[in-house]
Structure 1
Amino acid sequence: MLKRVVVTGMAGLSPIGNDWQQVAAQLKIQSNGIQFMPEWENYIGLNTRLGAPVDFIKPAHYSRKKIRSMGRIALMATYATELALIDAGLLNDPCLNNGQTGIAYGSCAGSFEALAEFGNMLLNHTVNGLNATSYIRMMAHTTPVNIGLFFGINGRIYTTSSACTSSSQGIGYAYEAIKHGYQKLMVAGGAEELSAAEAAVFDTLFATSIRNDTPEKSPRPFDRDRDGLVIGEGAGTLILEEREHALARGAHIHAELIGFGTNSDGLHVTQPDQHSMETVISLALQDAQLDASAIGYISAHGTATVHGDVAESHATAAVFGANTPISSLKSFTGHTLGACGALEAWVAINMMNEGWFHATANLENIDPACAPLDYIKDKIRLLNCKYVMSNNFAFGGINTSLIFKRGND
């Protein structure tokens, strides 16, 4: 028999705050976390100077021995997970160490500081600077492995390294692991650390914002005058749990995850495809056994690139029409890449439970090339809705859609 899956713990580290109270306050006043990055001026030919860093330092109670295999990305992932486990009432619980708990966590890559150590070897033909932890800090599965080591979690591990869908795929695969009875609990989410190298990926595609003198004015998802995305960083963790297990221990349920869809378009490595976006949204609705009309709010991928915004808006309109409220968190956090799906799910769930939803920051003039949707702009929207959807679309044509049901229903 298929199991029901609920969210019993949540936490996030983001460019606009590291707890829900901070984040909510910034969303309500439409204050984003974009900054001018003066150190990026050292890179010849890099056009953008905009980034969205997280105010994060290593927690004082993390010993050197415990974190020696962690770069910044794994540190953020581990701390976000600690906060989520505390929220779930599961920190130091025996269920973490008896095989009942697994991990599904992702990022685009590991720590870029460690990548640079190997780059130095290849360029300068010396292993000076390499050490026993260089690979562990660099590897794509540095976040789930280090989370598992830190908390002694010994169930299954899924590593989801799929660019912008890394954490939403992690959440989806964690949901499937519980739904089909393979695990009782899953730590799910993703992380990313800010690096000029990641900004350069999009800069070479002429997809980054270069409003370097007015960082607060960018990015501008769905806006006629947008000029590209901004790279951010962060970490987001959801604790997913079999509903009966959660009820038996008296856990607080934030939401129920009832729908997940993922697919790939098989067409182009960087260009988004409207049809496959429509398909993945429909897959999530089918999994949730809901009509499109049941969704009360859509958390958009909303990167502020022309091709992405236009394709996403028309895919959304094809399924929902013009009446479902939609907004983009990336207008506040920048594109946090491997962390974005988890952070966006965390924010959407909290807003659903509180009955309000943020606007898209900097959305002043809707691009006429985008589909006519109910874009939330200028100020928060008060909404009483039972279901929210969170969508992400990644390089390689990888798409995800998640549907959450309000926890008290």
Structure 2
Amino acid sequence: MKRVVVTGMAGITSLGETTDDIFAQFHAGKSGIRYMPEWEQYVDLRTKLAGQVQSFHVAKHFNRKVMRGMGRVALMSVISAENALQDAHLLDSSLLKSGDVGVAFGSSAGSVDAIREFGNMLIDQDMSKINATTYIRMMSHTSAVNMTVYFGLKGLTLPTSSACTSGSMAIGQAYEAIKYGKQTIMIAGGAEELSAVGAAVFDVLLATSRMNDQPEKSPRPFDANRDGLVIGEGAGCLILEEYEHAIQRGAKIYAEIVGYASNTDGQHVTKPDTEMMGRCMQMALKDAHLDASQIDYVNAHGTSTDQGDIAESQATARILGRKPISSLKSYFGHTLGACGAIEAWLGIEMMNRGQLVPTLNLDEIDPQCGDLDYITQQIRVSNINIMMSNNFAFGGINTSLIFKRLT
């Protein structure tokens, strides 16, 4: 079995694009959630909150020809991948087109604008809005495919579209592709673009926050007074590499992936199963050859829904014991297909900085949640070596990743 390490990281969030910028916001207790006045047109939409990326840097070489097949989700994905490759000192490498480099990248869906173009055909019997790129921008594997074309990749393409585990599953599958010797390097992660449609998915389930007049107070993962999730957008990308290859070329190593597991509840599409969540964590521990006592910190899924928070926290406490835990969704909202990748990226950064970011707005821990060491109020300085990052999705799809800091 090959060892797998992280040699590059990048992303786009509602709090910035660099780790220094994002951590400055963490230290200031700032949230990326804002009120969305443009959603007022949707009268029946209860929530008007979102973690919107209001701007991100698009380099000049992303001209009209390059971007013609990219919707917003694909553009954020490719930019994040380019920045991660630059971080890994691989952007100009001949390896990219050798067949030894692949991509595993996911999102819940493609771009909503492209879906609207097909919608015009179905509703108005008018095909004038459809063009040669409409499907490319709409398809669920738009990010992965745009990457292969943009970078000229010839290796594996593993598109993951599993709702809220799209990003974490992509990282897990990329890890396994290298672990079992199929690829040397993998570009891995996830992305999602914001839309009122994405909010409506949860709104009809009565799972969204209605604190529209206090965007900075929501979401509130694990809090007794939480009233639902807030959706967001962004992208996260990790460059995974076979350990010996990384050492040979003198690469900077951020962390080693030592464990991954995924399973499914097999019971209900939207109701989480705490038993299967726990089993997934156990499977990841087994894959990593670790005992639960060796986990120093848990990067929670923490969506701020009643059922999800309770099921997840109880499973975590049952399997791992009273571990330090926090949820980054309190800052960015639920970025759906991007969340697993963004949380892995920033979780690794937390581990390397020795700074555990607290859950924002967690003022009163819900007594129904599991007995855990919830990090609140301020950043906790802590020397951690092993982190578990968990994500859970509609369809009962569970993922658990374990990262180790190399000292």
Is the pair's TM-score, using the shorter chain for normalization, greater than 0.5? yes
Q: Structure 1 CA distance, aligned partners of 2:289 and 2:127?
A: 55
- 1:143 aligns with 143
* 68-77 vs 53-62, greater mean Cα deviation: 53-62
Q: Which amino acid aligns with 1:180?
A: Y
Q: Structure 1 CA distance, aligned partners of 2:20 and 2:60?
A: 22
Q: Which amino acid aligns with 1:21?
A: D
- 1:71 aligns with 71
- 1:373 aligns with 372
Note the 1:359-370 alignment, pairs <5 A. Answer: 359-370=358-369
SS at match of 2:317: helix
Note the 1:8-407 alignment, pairs <5 A. Answer: 8-54=7-53, 55-56=55-56, 58-322=58-322, 324-407=323-406
Q: Structure 2 CA distance, aligned partners of 1:258 and 1:372?
A: 26
SS at match of 1:237: strand
Q: Which amino acid aligns with 1:91?
A: L
Cα displacement (A) at 1:321? 1.6
Q: Which amino acid aligns with 1:126?
A: D
Cα displacement (A) at 1:234? 0.2
Unaligned ranges ≥5, structure 1: none
Q: Which amino acid aligns with 2:285?
A: L
* 379-388 vs 297-306, greater mean Cα deviation: 379-388
Q: Which amino acid aligns with 1:39?
A: E
Q: Structure 2 CA distance, aligned partners of 1:94 and 1:219?
A: 44
Cα displacement (A) at 1:371? 1.3
Q: Structure 2 CA distance, aligned partners of 1:82 and 1:57?
A: 12
SS at match of 1:258: strand
Q: Structure 2 CA distance, aligned partners of 1:385 and 1:13?
A: 25
Cα displacement (A) at 1:61? 2.1
List structure 1 runs of 4+ shifted beyond 4 angstroms.
none
TM-superposition CA deviations, 1:162-209 (whole Å, max 9, x none):
000001000000000000000000000000000000000000000000
TM-superposition CA deviations, 1:194-251 (whole Å, max 9, x none):
0000000000000000100000000000000000000000000000000011011110
- For these two proteins, the number of residue pairs brought into alignment is 406
Q: Structure 2 CA distance, aligned partners of 1:171 and 1:226?
A: 30
Cα displacement (A) at 1:59? 2.7
Q: Which amino acid aligns with 1:314?
A: Q
TM-superposition CA deviations, 1:256-313 (whole Å, max 9, x none):
0000010001000000000000000001100000001111100000000000000001
Q: Structure 2 CA distance, aligned partners of 1:321 and 1:180?
A: 32
Over aligned residues, Cα RMSD in angstroms? 0.7
- Identity percentage over the alignment? 58
Cα displacement (A) at 1:50? 0.2
Q: Structure 1 CA distance, aligned partners of 2:348 and 2:339?
A: 14
SS at match of 1:235: strand
SS at match of 1:280: helix
TM-superposition CA deviations, 1:15-34 (whole Å, max 9, x none):
11111011111112221100
SS at match of 2:235: strand
* 308-317 vs 19-28, greater mean Cα deviation: 19-28
TM-superposition CA deviations, 1:104-162 (whole Å, max 9, x none):
00000000000111111101111010000000000000000001111111101001000
TM-score by length of 1: 0.98
Unaligned ranges ≥5, structure 2: none
Cα displacement (A) at 1:81? 0.4
Q: Structure 1 CA distance, aligned partners of 2:239 and 2:199?
A: 30
Q: Structure 1 CA distance, aligned partners of 2:377 and 2:77?
A: 32
SS at match of 1:131: coil
TM-score by length of 2: 0.99
Cα displacement (A) at 1:57? 5.2
Q: Structure 1 CA distance, aligned partners of 2:310 and 2:256?
A: 30
